[in-house]
């Protein structure tokens, strides 16, 4: 009798399935055996990846114009080094199985991981798809019992493969064509370039911005013993002429003053919506400085520990089916977080509350939710911080809305008018546990928050005194990981064409799962650098955008073009369009890319990399090849060099400068063969600079790896 084989994406996920579906299980090397004839294996993330061009044809090893465009009929896959034994084990188990269950993460990436394995071995067994946003036993059991034929996800598979292949073809052809035209190592891509272009445009706007000095006139007034402050009211911005403001100030004392408007209004404000990955990444970056890909890695760990639901979600709503889960999590977690739950009430979370529950706004996965489990006491600090952000937003849903009474007062002194804003709480709802969420209210910095509104009425007031404050206008701020990833999700905000804007509302650049990696790649390719949290574009990044915008394929730098591309992929994912037309247009576009770079004239000196520190052995310049950094005086017997690829990382110019200037890189995130993440540094070996190898030092540990 054959067994059932369940294939998960990671070992921890496979263990969660075993705990949920088998009365008991035994752990073997690479798999688990359940007592009820179910075997659980796992993929360690991706086991197969697309080949490099030279692995299709040896001639592509050399980059030559005459070999472009590279358009293979099908892009083959290869086994990722070190993953062979696990891949072969899965195949052995599959041959013995009666039914195979795809239990990889429920998203396009998880679907791609499973389908690549299945197609690699050409399995012809029945395959079921288990789709779950939670690794809790009840959720797994429900998803397993409701598993559908994997074929029902064929459109998701098609869109995922098409996305991957189009990224390969466009990235490969545009990178090679641009590199050959510039005699430099240029990396380009369908999502990479428009993201870089957004940063380029913002930094250019900042560089071109001229600050303007303006002057604000404040007046202090009194009515029936109540002293209050008002700001001179202007409809079209603040005045820049100081003499004009001083003239207005001089005549204030000679003019009668009165309140001409005292308008009261009660405003209610609901809690911010539940978290999706983008919102969490934005807040984690603002509060803790985490980069977007770091937040996702931390969140993935929390998911595998069954503390939160599926992390790569693009939704901040739930369906009616998740309401019981929210109630269960509330009941259990309230015992552990009384400061978040002391005045909360479950009656606020129900299916009719569209702020929380709206199935029309949930695609593959609902919003991020904490699971109903006792939190462990030994979580790392970064996981505690991220889980707290999820918890705060979750518990805020169980509070009533905030209710404030607002008062707008306009005081007239002759021809001049002054405005004052006040607010006072009537009902402190979710804000009592989540005050930081109110910091982004644009009006809050102008409102005087009081326990009760002042009893100001229309009528005469006394002028006390006034003051002038000089201020400067500010350029738009540099992007951070948080603000950039938010714009990537909501790119329609940048579009002016009304029809296009409507079509792309809710569409974005990349996906919730990939945006953090895109930003990271921009840094790896030395297109951007960080100044604390702020993202700055490098000279190379500027030249790359200027280069592509000189061509007829400048749409590659257009966020609108990329968002439209995502929209087309979405229609394929939903089965509303066949992939053939998209694939044909994409291949034609690759040919146009190559033609453009054959005709363009480029000054290659614009793309020379500068600013690399000198050789620590002989103080001569360091130069770069495809595989290593080495001393320019190597021919004169200086042996110093560093291999670019170390411990699964590809060193960038920025990493190299860090090594040469201070002996080690900044903190890096590494991935083990089993897919787990850990942080550390790469260090130069003291006294031995001739082997090309670096030392790895784990953070929070004295251990090193050579």
Q: Convert the pLDDT of each residue in 321-354 to its tens digit.
A: 899 999 999 999 999 999 999 999 999 999 999 9
Segment 134-149 shows an average pLDDT of 93
Out of 66-80, 176-190, 225-239, 600-614, least confident range: 600-614
pLDDT of residue 675: 66
Q: What is the percentage of the chain residues whose pLDDT exceeds 70? A: 94
11 neighbors 17 (Cβ within 8 angstroms):
no
pLDDT in tens, 199-245: 999 999 999 999 999 999 999 999 999 999 999 998 777 889 999 99
Using the predicted structure, report yes or no on whether residue 67 has a pLDDT greater than 60: yes
pLDDT in tens, 364-389: 789 999 999 999 999 999 999 999 99
Q: Exposure string (b/e) for 335-353, b if CB count within 10 Å is 16 or more?
A: eebeebbeebeeebbeeee
Nearest to 554 by CA among 514, 519, 597: 597
DSSP code, position 216: E
pLDDT of residue 332: 97
What is d(CA 123, CA 102) in angstroms, rounded to the nearest whole number?
13
pLDDT of residue 626: 65
What is d(CA 33, CA 24) in angstroms, rounded to the nearest whole number?
9
What is d(CA 409, CA 565) in angstroms, rounded to the nearest whole number?
50
pLDDT of residue 276: 94
Q: What is the percentage of the chain residues whose pLDDT exceeds 90? A: 62
- pTM of the shown model: 0.82
pLDDT of residue 427: 94
Location of structure tokens 């080495």:
630
Segment 10-30 shows an average pLDDT of 94
What is d(CA 101, CA 8) in angstroms, rounded to the nearest whole number?
9
pLDDT of residue 687: 59
Q: Are strands 3-8 and 38-42 parallel, antiparallel or unpaired?
A: parallel
Q: Are strands 38-42 and 148-149 parallel, antiparallel or unpaired?
A: unpaired
363 neighbors 324 (Cβ within 8 angstroms):
no
What is d(CA 582, CA 609) in angstroms, rounded to the nearest whole number?
37
One DSSP character per residue, 369-398 reads: -B-SSPPPS---HHHHHHHHHHHHHHHHTT
Segment 37-65 shows an average pLDDT of 92
Q: What are the tokens at 416?
A: 């001049």
Using the predicted structure, report yes or no on whether residue 506 has a pLDDT greater than 50: yes
Give the torsion sign (CA, 526, 528, 531, 536). positive
pLDDT of residue 603: 80
Using the predicted structure, report yes or no on whether residue 443 has a pLDDT greater than 70: no
Using the predicted structure, report yes or no on whether residue 624 has a pLDDT greater than 90: no
Q: Are strands 226-232 and 528-531 parallel, antiparallel or unpaired?
A: unpaired
Using the predicted structure, report yes or no on whether residue 702 has a pLDDT greater than 50: no
Where does the pLDDT of residue 503 fall: very low under 50, low under 70, confident under 90, or very high at 90 and above?
low
pLDDT of residue 299: 95
pLDDT of residue 365: 86
| Of 223-227, 489-493, 551-555, 687-691, highest mean pLDDT | 223-227
More confident residue, 45 or 210: 210
Where does the pLDDT of residue 649 fall: very low under 50, low under 70, confident under 90, or very high at 90 and above?
confident
Residue 506, class by beta-carbon neighbours within 10 Å (0-12 exposed, 13-18 middle, 19+ buried)?
Answer: middle
Segment 141-162 shows an average pLDDT of 91
What is d(CA 526, CA 624) in angstroms, rounded to the nearest whole number?
14
pLDDT of residue 608: 66
pLDDT in tens, 79-118: 998 899 999 999 999 999 999 999 998 888 889 899 999 9
Using the predicted structure, report yes or no on whether residue 704 has a pLDDT greater than 60: no
pLDDT of residue 434: 85
Q: What is the mean pLDDT of the chain?
A: 89
More confident residue, 693 or 143: 143
């Amino acid at each position: 009798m054959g067994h059932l084989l369940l294939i998960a994406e990671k070992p921890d996920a496979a263990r969660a399935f075993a705990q949920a579906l088998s009365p008991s299980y035994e752990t073997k090397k690479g798999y688990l055996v359940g007592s009820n004839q179910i075997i659980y294996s796992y993929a360690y993330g991706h086991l197969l990846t697309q080949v490099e061009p030279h692995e299709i044809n040896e001639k592509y090893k050399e980059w030559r114009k005459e070999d472009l465009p590279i358009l293979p009929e099908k892009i083959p896959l290869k086994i990722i080094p070190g993953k062979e034994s696990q891949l072969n084990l899965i195949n052995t188990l599959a041959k013995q199985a009666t039914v195979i269950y795809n239990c990889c993460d429920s998203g396009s990436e998880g679907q791609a991981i499973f389908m690549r394995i299945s197609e690699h071995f050409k399995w012809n067994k029945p395959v079921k798809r288990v789709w779950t946003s939670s690794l809790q036993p009840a959720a797994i059991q429900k998803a397993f019992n409701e598993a559908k034929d994997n074929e029902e996800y064929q459109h998701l598979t098609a869109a995922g493969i098409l996305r991957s292949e189009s990224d390969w073809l466009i990235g490969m052809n545009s990178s090679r064509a641009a590199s050959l035209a510039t005699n430099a190592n240029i990396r380009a891509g369908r999502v990479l370039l428009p993201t870089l272009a957004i940063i380029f445009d913002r930094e250019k706007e900042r560089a071109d911005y001229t600050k303007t000095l303006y002057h604000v006139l404040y007046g202090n007034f009194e009515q029936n013993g109540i002293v209050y402050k008002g700001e001179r009211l202007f409809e079209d911005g603040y005045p820049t002429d100081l003499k004009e403001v001083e003239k207005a100030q001089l005549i204030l004392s000679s003019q009668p003053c009165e309140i001409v408007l005292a308008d009261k209004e009660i405003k209610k404000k609901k809690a911010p919506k539940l978290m999706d990955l983008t919102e969490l990444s934005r807040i984690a970056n603002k509060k803790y400085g985490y980069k977007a890909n770091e937040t996702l890695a931390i969140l993935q760990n929390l998911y595998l520990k069954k503390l939160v639901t599926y992390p790569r979600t693009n939704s901040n709503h739930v369906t009616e089916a998740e309401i019981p889960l929210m109630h269960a999590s509330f009941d259990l977690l309230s015992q552990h977080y009384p400061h978040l739950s002391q005045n909360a009430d479950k009656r606020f979370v129900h299916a009719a509350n569209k702020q929380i529950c709206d199935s029309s706004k949930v695609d593959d996965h609902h919003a991020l939710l904490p699971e109903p489990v006792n939190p462990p006491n030994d979580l790392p600090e970064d996981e505690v911080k991220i889980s707290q952000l999820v918890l705060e937003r979750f518990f805020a849903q169980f509070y009533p809305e905030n209710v404030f009474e607002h008062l707008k007062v306009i005081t007239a002194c002759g021809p001049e008018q002054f405005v004052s804003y006040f607010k006072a709480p009537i009902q402190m709802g979710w804000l009592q546990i989540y005050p930081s969420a109110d910091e982004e209210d644009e009006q809050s910095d102008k409102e005087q928050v009081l326990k009760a509104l002042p009893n100001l009425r229309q009528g005469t007031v006394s002028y006390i005194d006034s003051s002038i404050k000089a201020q400067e206008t500010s350029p738009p701020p540099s992007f951070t990981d948080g603000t950039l990833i938010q714009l990537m999700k909501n790119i329609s905000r940048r579009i002016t064409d009304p029809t296009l804007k409507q079509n792309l509302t809710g569409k974005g650049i990349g996906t919730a799962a990939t945006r953090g990696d895109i930003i990271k790649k921009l840094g790896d390719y030395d297109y951007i650098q960080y100044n604390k949290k702020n993202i700055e574009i490098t000279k190379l990044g500027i030249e790359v955008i200027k280069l592509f915008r000189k061509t007829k394929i400048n749409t590659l730098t257009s966020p609108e073009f990329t968002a439209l591309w995502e929209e087309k992929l979405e229609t394929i994912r939903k089965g509303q369009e066949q992939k053939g037309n998209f694939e044909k247009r994409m291949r034609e576009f690759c040919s146009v890319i190559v033609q453009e770079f054959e005709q363009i004239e480029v000054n290659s000196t614009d793309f020379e990399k500068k600013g690399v520190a000198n050789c620590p052995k002989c103080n001569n310049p360091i130069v770069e090849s495809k595989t290593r950094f080495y001393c320019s005086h190597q021919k004169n017997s200086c042996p110093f060099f560093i291999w670019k690829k170390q411990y699964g990382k590809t060193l960038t110019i920025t990493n190299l400068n860090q090594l040469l200037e201070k002996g080690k890189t900044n903190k890096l995130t590494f991935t083990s063969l089993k897919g787990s993440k850990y942080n550390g540094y790469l260090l130069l070996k003291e006294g031995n600079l001739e082997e090309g190898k670096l030392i790895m030092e784990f953070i929070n540990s004295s251990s090193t790896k050579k």
